[in-house]
Chain A
Amino acid sequence: KAGVTQTPRYLIKTRGQQVTLSCSPISGHRSVSWYQQTPGQGLQFLFEYFSETQRNKGNFPGRFSGRQFSNSRSEMNVSTLELGDSALYLCASSLAGEDVAGELFFGEGSRLTVL
């Protein structure tokens, strides 16, 4: 069974641009979560989607948005990029209701550099 796939793996943008990151969850997983990882702040929760609905949202500005499609694939978008948005963005999928403890399976991440 294929794991969580994130694309692109690396990307470089300039301030003010916008970026879209993609995540394909493990087949059968209906929950997709996004995390931002930086050396200073560590891992911070961005949002979680389940059946195309955002169920939870972290404490990030409105420039960060996401969505989930009917096939459970998810995208996140960051508009008007700032230098501080440089980070590793991790996507994780879960069986959700079928796994009460909610183990998350992570992708390898998308490394965003903002110049």
Chain B
Amino acid sequence: AQTVTQSQPEMSVQEAETVTLSCTYDTSESDYYLFWYKQPPSRQMILVIRQEAYKQQNATENRFSVNFQKAAKSFSLKISDSQLGDAAMYFCAYRSAWGSNYKLTFGKGTLLTVNP
């Protein structure tokens, strides 16, 4: 079974600064997808960024980028120019690419605080 570990329960960053959230995962599969989801205090979870394991290039979405190290099974999220609206719980998630499997395995989350 796959597992996802987020070793930082809480992180804080100053507005306009850069912060990196860590995520490691364990799998025996070679093809899979990795996601970062954001859950603001209002609770609705939204996708921040995703990475296909077969792509070597790291995904980027505006101020959000990932550092995907497949051999190390590491998938960190970098938030640049942090904004107050980035404050939320961030979840790293794994999904197998095999079959019709839409099950996500989540990490326990990292609570990000943005200080003005």
Contacts and interface: CB of A to CB of B under 8 A. Distances in A.
Interface residues of B, number: 24
Interface of B: 33, 35, 37, 42-47, 50, 52, 91, 95, 97, 100-109
21 contacts: A3-B44, A33-B102, A33-B103, A35-B104, A43-B109, A45-B104, A48-B102, A56-B102, A88-B43, A90-B45, A94-B102, A96-B100, A96-B102, A102-B95, A102-B102, A104-B104, A106-B45, A107-B44, A108-B43, A108-B44, A109-B44
Given A48-B103, A58-B103, A102-B102, A43 B91 contact: yes
Interface of A: 3, 31, 33, 35, 42-45, 48, 50, 55-56, 58, 88, 90, 92, 94, 96-97, 100-109
Tell me whether chain B's interface is mostly helix, strand or loop, or mixed. Answer: loop
Given A56-B103, A108-B42, A101 B109 contact: no
Nearest to B95: A102
B87 to A, nearest CB: 18
A77 B107 CA distance: 25
Contacts of B101: 55-56
A42 B106 contact: yes
Nearest to B1: A59
A43 to B, nearest CB: 4
Nearest to B44: A108
In the A-B complex, the 7 residue pairs with the closest CB atoms? A43-B106, A106-B45, A42-B108, A108-B44, A45-B103, A56-B103, A102-B102
Contacts of A56: 101-103
A42 B44 contact: no
Contacts of A100: 97
